[in-house]
Structures are given as structure tokens and as C-alpha cells.
Amino acid sequence: MLDFWLSGFLSLFQPQALVFLLFGMAVGLFVGVLPGLGGTTALALLTPFTYGLEPVEALALAGGVMGGVPMGGAVTAILLNTPGQTANAVTCLDGYPLAQQGKAGLAIGAAASANAIGGIIGTISVLLVLPIATELVLAFGPPEFFLIAVLGLVLVATTSRGKTLRALVSGVAGLMIASIGYNDVTGGQRFTMGIEYLWDGVHLVPALVGLFAVAEMMHLSVKGGSIAKADGNVQITNIGAGLFETFRHWGTVLRGSLIGTFVGVVPGVGVTVASFLSYSLTVQASKDPESFGKGNIKGVIAPEAAINAKDCSALIPTLAFGLPGGAEMAVFMGILILHGMQPGPLMLQQNQLEIYSLIWALTASCILSSFVGLLFARPLARLTRVDTQLLAPVIIVLSLVGSYATDMVIENVVLSAVFGLIGYVMIKFDYPRITMVVALVLASLAERNYHQSMIMSDGGWSIYVSRIPSAIIVLCIVMSVASPFIRTFFSRRDLAATKTAGGS
Amino acid sequence: MPKFSRREMLKTAGAAAPALLAARYASAAPAVFPAKNIQFVIPYAPGGGFDVYVRFITPVMEKYLPRKVSIVPINVASGAGSRGVAQLYRARPDGYTIGILNVPGMFILQEQQGTRAYDLNKFTWVGAMGEGERYLISVSSKSPIKNFADLKALSAQRPVKLSVTGPEGTAYVATMIGTQLLGIRKQLITGYKGSADYVVAAIRGDSDAVIAALPTTMRYVRGGSIRPIVSFETHSSIPGIPDATTLAQPELDRISVERLVAAPPGTPPDVQNILSAALAKALADPVVVKWSKDNDLIMLPKTPTQAVAILNEQRAFFEKWKTTLSAS
């Protein structure tokens, strides 16, 4: 194994492989920055170019793209409150408030280093896990998938302190919207209102573009001024300090990376869940949970570390079983098959060289794209000083084009506009949008796996606790529900004791 | 330089317009087909079987078109494939939009939804990608079920749990009809997202067994994680397991997934022939032959007439089993 590990590494240093890696990374970064467009689109665009390439070169290209996208997505999330891809929606929560405070550089710096370190930890975990990959993937079935979805939904409350009721309203609305479309379990359409476009449900990417990009730009246009408050004293390009922040919060980085790795191994759960779990658990673990959502740097580090770690480990179910964890991995699997590699149990044995060179390419691209991201951070951070009247039209056009390009249908643009209005109303009345996104992402996962679990167990509920992985997740859920109460109990006691008001 | 009056200018333009239009018309006429890029509609998501077939074969197919244009695959994955098929059905019948159809999966959808969105009988058929794939019943290699007799014994005790997609896929058809023919009581676990998904479900023990297409199953058989126990082929290509002949159920061999290539209804025959010839030559190209061999696929070129024959055969089979399929 070590042999392949090294030769995989060396194969990247062939000039062609290196060129394709860098090209892929550049495309990934660029596409990542565009709102709505993510790794899926980038890989789909590049698939035809890989026909003439050697497998290792094609994988260097794909690895480059997959490593580059998250960094690009983070930049847009921080600067414009518009996630470059779905998973970055979580980065907005604290990244954007930082940008508003004029600390965009700090946030981008932290995102870059969290990205790179997350990628490295992800790679190490994958290398460690690969020998037992098959057992690990098989340990998670429908009951576990259902419970992970429940955990995600439960944690919605954590991300929205003080606004729990609003978060629940937004979450339930998300669940209801997610029930539109074709029912995977029993067949047949639900709530499609006779519109053919809705047969496949509410498309996530255009909805997200509307909810974040369009809504934010509407809000800014109405408000006027620029994103960062005109406070000349704050240094907006404090990138070095940002880089350093990640190293100050080792716990957060490590937690995020491990959660990312774990979620990646579980097929079909998706990267958004990884970044969201990482964020929520960081909030729960924090001594100062009130500061999140207002520009806590840990709120940027946690999701970013998770996203890149997840990108590495998501390769495991894809390669070992041909089970793509998401749309991006599905396209990537197509590239593998085109190049004569058949994902499945045999691939782990037969294509070790390719697998390791892919993992190396992915890691190299993570690190390199973080550097490139930093190079551009300075000029990009100045976007937050640009007058909204100039910024909003450009961003709205870019977002809607991205929304269209995702599926090449005009209905996507209409959907983005509708969700733009919904998002604007939500900003106006202070309803959290992230909970709606989480509900949209998790609803079908929860529903499908609930049905499957119940058939597996002949209708018995014990299946959710009788399997060890399930029992562990149930424990996590119980702890997540209980912890705010325990915390409130103790903080009240402290308050009573010290009779002081204000934060901790 | 002679001067043109405005009137003369208009006259000239008036005279030129029909000529230009005629030229435009000529460029769309079959004599020079194809004059622009061709869209290839894949009614399923990127990464799936249909997607991979099309993405691998279309670049080769381009080489065999009389003129150099690109074939651009687009995925229209909505409503279990029906939106892509509906889009193909409504496209202009000029040969610049073609697509791949899952048969008999599409019959089920048409049965559910009626012929408002599309009518499978009216498409112009171009050919097929791949020889119909037959099905296998398999169990996890860790399963206590060792052979078909064990499966029958389990079925006598309680319904056998089988993992499958929703009620729109061809695998669903295979599962429903296969269990009916073999007299196995069943409890379906539906909602899996694709072939890899429901096969892995059986490997990890969600279900007792799975009925999946042969090439898909073989990938996992080689990795040692799954054990085939029944083949639906007339003569099993896997030694030592019962097949349609030994089980005295010849109907089993008629269950197959077909990947037919179609153009919108009313596509002119000469365009149909150009496309069909290019597809047939692509399937015989050494690159495709090697690729299909590596992936356990059989790629035999099919003429439009053969494609229609396959469709008719599948329709007859589907009609016969319609009541079984709509039973649950």
C-alpha cells in the first residue's frame, strides 16, 4: 500500500498531470466563486475534455476541480452572503457579519487556512480508513441515515439562539416545500400544481440562489450604502491574522475535519449536512454561544474545515461501492467509468495507483487553491466597500445566469426569483434562512430512510436503538436537545450567584 | 461608386429575403444533415448507467456522422425520467434532438400518467445502446441464504424483503414479475436511488435479497460482496446457479432493460437513417467494443426496425403483466 501511496504522489509530478491539476483548480475556484455553480457543473463541463487524457491526468483534473471549488464558494459566502455552493450556506452565518464589520480579509484568511488544514486532515483520515473502508460504509443503513437527518433538524434550534420559534417556522416551511415533487417511496407526484418543472421537486440550487443572493441584493439595494460599514479604522484586508486564527482554534478545526470525514463516509448524506453539523456542534461546545451569527471566526472555520475533509472522504463510498454521496460525486463517477475504472469493491484492489494519485491531487488542490484564494483576497475584500447600486445588478445577473446554467432551464430563474422574494421577506422579519436550507436538504433523506427502516423492521421502532451506530446517533440527539436546557439552568444559577448581567 | 436610393435598397432587400430564407431552409434540409450540433437528451442524472453509456458513445458517434458536428448530452432528470422523455417528444422533429429511453420503465410511467406528455408508440426509433440486460437474484455473501431452495424456504416462513427503486424503474418490473413467476412472497423496500444503491442495500443487510441487472451485479460479485443465486437468463452465464430453463420459467428471460435511442415523432426517414447508421458504426467501433467488454456489456448495433421490434416485444410483455405491476 505504501508503495502505491508514494507512486501516486510521484505521478502528480509529471508535467502533464501538474498542468491539469492546476487547470482544474483554476476552473474549480472560478466556478466556486459564481453563486449557484459548484463542483457538479464544473466537472460536467470538463468531462468531455477528459476523453483524450490518460486516467491519471483525468483524475488530476477532477481532483483539481473538487479541491478548488470549496475555497471559491467560501469567498462568495463571506463577501456577499451568497453561498458559492450549497454547503457554503453555513459559512455565511458568521462570515458575512465579519465582512459587514469590515473584517472580510480576516474571514477569508481563516477560511483559506481551515480549507487547507481540513483537506490535509481529511486526506490523512482517508488513508487511515481506506483498509477498513468497506466495513465502515456498510455499517450505515437507512436507520442511521434517518437519525442523522433528525440530528440535523434538531440542531436547527442551536444555530438560532433567541430565535428558536422563528427557526422552527422557517424549518417547517422548508420541510413542506421539500415535499413537493415525485415521491421516491410510493411513486406519483405530490403538490406539483400541474407544473411539469416541479416533478423533480424544488431544485435546491436555484432555490438557494434566490434565498441568499437575490434576497441579499434586494435587501442591500433597499438599504443603500455598501456591505462593510464605512468605518475607515478597520483594516479590511487583515489576511495574515485570519490565517493565524485557524491555528488558534485547533479544537474547532479538528472537530470540523472529523465530522466532515465521518459524514463523507456515510453515502448520500451530503456535504451541506457536514458543514452544518460542524457549525452547530461548535456552537454547542462554545463557552460563548451568543457570539455566533454575529461574526465569530470559529463560525467560519468550523464549516470550511468540514467541507474539505468531507470532499476527501466522500471518495470512499464512491470508489468502494459506486455509491456517489452527491451530484458532484455522481458526475465524477461518470469520469471514472469513461476511463475504464469501474467503481466498486474491486476498484480498491485494482486501481490503487489511480486512487492515491486522486487523493493527492485533491489535497494538493485544496492547499494550492487556498493560496490562490489568499492572493485574490485583498482585491476581492474591497468588494465589500463597493456601493450597492453598482454591486447589486451585477451580482443578481451573475446569480440568475448561474441558476439557469445549473439545469439549462428558464424555470430555474423563475424559482430563484420566487425564493428571492421569500428570502427578502425572511430578512425583513428576521427569520433565519439557513434552517429552511437545512430542511430542504434533509427532508427527502429523512422521509425515504424512515420508510425503508420501518419496512426493514416490520414496523418496529427498536431498529433505531438496537444497532450500535444508531444508538450512538440517538445519544447525540438526546444530548443536543438536552444541552441548551442544562446550559440555561447553570447560567441562571451563575447569574443568581453573581447578580451580574450581560454575556459570559 | 453608384448611389442607391432608399427605394432601390428596399427592393434589393425584398428580393434577397426569400433567397436568404431559402438558403436557411436548405441548411435545415436533410441533404446536408447534420448542419449544427445535435442535442442528446438523457432523462436521468449524471453518473447513472444511461448517462455513462451516452457520454461514452456519443463522441465516437460524432466521428461517423457525414458532417463534423458535436453531439451534446444534456441531462433532464425529473419525474423519474418522464420529463426528459416528454421534452424529447415535443422537440422539433429535425434530427437535432435525440434521446435515450428506458424500456420497459417508460411503459409504467406512461401507464401512470397517460399519453398526455408523450406516447411511446409515436417516437421515431434510431436504434439501441446495448443488448437487453438480463437479471439475477443475489444475496449478500454473508447471508444465511445459500441458494434458491433457502430463498423458497424463507418465503414459506415470511415475505422476502427485496430492495428496489420506486415503482417506475425497470428493476421494479423485474422484481415484481420475477418473484411472481418464481412464487416468492415479497415485501419491497422501495425508494433506493439507483442500481448501486439497492445492490449495496442487500450487501449491508437492509434486504434479504436483490433482483438487479447482470452487469451491475457482476461488479459486486467480483469484489466478493454478493452471491448470485438465480439467473433469469435462458442459459445462466454464471455456472452452478438455476436459470430460466432449469426453473422451467422461460418468461424470466424476457425480463430485460433496454436502452432505446429515439428521435421525436415525425423525424424524416433520411435523417433517421443517418443517425441510425452513425450509432450502429459507433457501437462497432473498437473503442466502444473494448469498453463494453471491460464493463460486462454487450453492444450489438440495432437498426430502427430492430429497435421497433424490441419495443413491441417489451410492450406485449408489459401488457401481459400490467395487472401484476399495478397490484401494489
Question: Cα–chain-centroid distance for residue A178?
Answer: 19
Contacts of A322 in chain B (CB under 8 A): 196, 219
Interface of A with B in 215-254 (CB under 8 A): none
B203 neighbourhood in chain A, CB within 8 Å: 138, 321
Q: What is the C-alpha to C-alpha distance for residues A446 and A175, in angstroms, rounded to an integer?
A: 10
Highest mean pLDDT out of A134-138, A199-203, A435-439: A435-439
ipTM reported for the complex surpasses 0.95: no
State which amino acid sits at residue A38. G
Given a cut of 50, is residue A476 above it in pLDDT? yes
DSSP A213: I
Start-end of CATH 3.40.190.10 domains in chain B: 135-254
pLDDT at A286 (0 to 100): 85
Lowest mean pLDDT among A78-82, A198-202, A278-282, B27-31: B27-31
The A residues from 259 to 288 touching B (CB cutoff 8 Å) are 267-268
**Residue A503 clears pLDDT 70, i.e. is over it:** no
CB contacts < 8 Å between A and B, how many? 132
Q: Which of A142, A267, A331 sits opposite B46 (nearest CB)?
A: A331
Residues in B touching A321 (Cβ below 8 Å) = 196, 200, 203
Q: How far apart are the first and last CA of chain B?
A: 82
Instruction: For residue A345, list chain B residues with Cβ-Cβ distance below 8 A.
Output: 219-220, 222-225
What pLDDT was estimated at residue B5?
A: 61
pLDDT band at B14 (very low <50, low <70, confident <90, very high): low
pLDDT exceeds cutoff 80 at B28: no
Beta pairing partners, A146: none
Minimum distance, in Å, between the CA of residue A76 and any CA atom of chain B: 26
Taking CA–CA distances from A137, the nearest residue in chain B reads B204
Asked if B55 lies within 8 A of A452 by C-beta distance, the reply is: no
B219 or B287, greater pLDDT: B287
Give the percent of chain A with pLDDT over 90: 24
Percent of chain A scored above 70 by pLDDT? 96
User: Virtual CA dihedral for A363, A365, A368, A374, nearest 10 degrees?
Assistant: -110
Query: Closest approach of chain A CAs to the CA of B255, in angstroms?
Result: 21
Are B83 and A200 in contact (CB < 8 Å)? Answer: yes
* Residues A54 and A20 sit within 8 Å (Cβ to Cβ): no
- For residue B188, name the pLDDT band (cuts at 50, 70, 90): very high
Pairing of strands B226-231, B258-263: unpaired
Q: Using CB atoms, which residue from B196, B206, B224 is nearest to A456?
A: B206
Inter-chain residue contact A141 with B161, CB threshold 8 Å? no
DSSP B5: P
- Candidates A257, A275, A339, A263; CA nearest to A90 is A275
Least confident residue range of A237-241, A346-350, B133-137 = A237-241
* Comparison of pLDDT for A100 and B2, the residue scoring more: A100
Q: Is A183 on the interface with B (CB under 8 A)?
A: yes
pLDDT computed for residue A499 by the predictor: 60
pLDDT at B278: 94
The pLDDT of residue B260:
92
Q: Shortest Cα distance from B40 to chain A (angstroms)?
A: 14
Joined grid coordinates for residue A423:
428570502
Rounded to the nearest integer, the mean pLDDT of chain B is: 85
Alpha carbon A353 to chain centroid distance?
A: 29
Give pLDDT, residue A52: 78
> Residue B56: closest CA among chain A residues belongs to which residue?
A338
Is pTM beyond 0.80 here? Answer: yes
Helix (H) or strand (E) holding A339: none
Q: Which of A134, A200, A408 has the highest number of chain B CBs within 10 A, making it the mutation to test binding with B? A: A200
Percent with pLDDT over 90 in chain B? 42
Highest mean pLDDT among A391-395, A423-427, B213-217, B294-298: A423-427
Q: Which residues of B touch A135 (CB under 8 A)?
A: none
Least confident of A57-66, A120-129, A236-245, A332-341: A236-245
Q: What is the pLDDT of residues A352-405, one digit of tens each?
A: 888 888 888 888 898 998 888 888 887 888 788 888 888 899 889 988 988 888
* Cα–Cα distance measured from residue A435 to residue A273, given in angstroms and rounded to the nearest whole number: 12
Mutation target vs A (from B204, B222, B294, B295; most A CBs, 10 A cutoff): B204
For residues A481-497, give the mean pLDDT: 76
CATH 3.40.190.150 domain position(s) in chain B:
36-132+257-325
Please indicate whether, in this complex, the C-beta atoms of A322 and B188 are within 8 angstroms of each other: no
Candidates B117, B191, B196; nearest CB to A448:
B191
**Highest mean pLDDT of the ranges A73-87, A275-289, B32-46, B232-246:** B232-246
**Nearest CA among A419, A429, A476, A416 for reference residue A169:** A429
Select from B51, B53, B200, B208 the residue whose CB has the most chain A CBs within 10 Å, as the one to mutate to test that interface.
B200
Chain B closest-CA separation from residue A279 CA (Å): 28
Residues of chain A neighbouring B59 (CB-CB closer than 8 A): 48, 51
- Per-residue pLDDT, averaged over A71-82, amounts to 89
Are the CB atoms for A119 and A243 separated by under 8 Å? no
Q: Which three cell numbers stand for residue A397?
A: 445577473
Under an 8 A CB cutoff, do B45 and A141 touch?
Answer: no
pLDDT of residue B285: 92
Confidence (pLDDT) at B77: 72
* Angstroms from B60 CA to nearest CA on chain A: 10
Look over chain A and give the mean of its residue pLDDT values, rounded to a whole number. Answer: 85
Candidate CATH numbers 3.40.190.150, 3.20.20.140, 3.90.180.10, 3.40.50.300; the one for domain B36-132+257-325: 3.40.190.150
DSSP conformational letter for B194: S
Chain A's closest residue to B291, CA to CA, is: A340
Cell (9 digits) for A348: 480498491
Contact B166 A344 (CB under 8 A): no
B321 Cα to chain A: minimum distance (Å): 18
How much is the pLDDT for B20?
Answer: 46
| Cβ neighbours for B306, distance < 8 A, ≥ 6 positions apart | B127, B128
Q: How confident is the model at residue B22 (pLDDT cuts 50, 70, 90)?
A: very low
Does residue A502 have a pLDDT over 50? no
Secondary structure of residue A431 in the 3-state scheme = coil
Residue A340 near chain B (CB below 8 Å) = yes
Residue from B37, B40, B55, B113 whose CB has the most chain A CBs within 10 Å, to mutate: B55
A166-182 average pLDDT score: 91
* pLDDT tops 60 at residue A193: yes
For B292, the closest chain A residue by CA position comes to A340
∠ at Cα A117 (A115, A120), nearest 5°? 110
| Section A144-157 average pLDDT | 87
Contacts of B52 in chain A (CB under 8 A): 334, 337-338
DSSP B212: E
The pLDDT of residue A34: 84
- Say what angle helices B304-325 and B269-284 make with each other, to 10 degrees: 90
Does residue A134 or residue B68 have the better pLDDT?
Answer: B68
The closest of A306, A298, A300 to A263, measured between CA atoms, is: A306
Helices A271-285 and A250-265 pack at an angle, to 10 degrees, of 150
More confident residue, A340 or A219: A219
- CA distance linking residue B84 with residue B208, whole number of Å: 34
> What is the distance, to the nearest Å, from the Cα of residue A275 to the centroid of all Cα atoms in its chain?
5
Q: What is the pLDDT of residue A232?
A: 53
Confidence of residue B248 (pLDDT cuts 50, 70, 90): very high
Q: What fold, for B135-254?
A: D-Maltodextrin-Binding Protein; domain 2 (3.40.190)
Quote the pLDDT of residue B29.
Answer: 46
Question: Hey, are the CB atoms on B189 and A456 less than 8 Å from each other?
Answer: yes
E-strand ranges in A342-491 read: none
Instruction: Name the residue among A140, A330, A344 with its Cβ closest to that of B223.
Output: A344
CA–CA separation, A238 and A252 (whole Å): 21
Asked whether A308 and A366 are in contact (CB, 8 A), the reply is yes
Separation between Cα atoms, residue B121 and residue A213, nearest integer Å? 45
Greatest extent of chain A over all pairs of C-alpha atoms, in Å: 72
Confidence of residue B26 (pLDDT cuts 50, 70, 90): very low
Contact A338 B187 (CB under 8 A): no
A345 → closest Cβ in B165, B201, B225: B225
Q: What's the mean pLDDT in A186-209?
A: 83
H or E stretch including A315? helix A315-321
Q: Which of B217, B211, B209 is nearest to B143 (CA)?
A: B209
Residues in chain A: 504
- C-alpha A306/C-alpha A327 separation (Å) is 18
Q: What is the pLDDT of residues B107-119, one digit of tens each?
A: 877 877 777 788 8
Q: Residue B79: what pLDDT?
A: 67
Residue B160: the pLDDT is 96
Of the partner residues A322, A334, A349, the one whose CB lies closest to the CB of residue B46: A334
Q: How far apart are CA A108 and CA A373, in angstroms?
A: 8
> What does the alpha-carbon distance between residue A334 and residue B60 come to, in Å, rounded to a whole number?
16
E strand or H helix at A358, and its extent?
A: helix A352-381
Residue for grid cell 439549462: A408
For A302-344, write each residue's pLDDT tens digit: 999 999 888 888 888 888 887 877 778 888 888 887 787 878 7
C-alpha grid cell for residue A297?
471566526
Widest CA span in chain B: 99
Question: Which residues does residue A19 pair with via DSSP β-bridges, in sequence order?
Answer: none
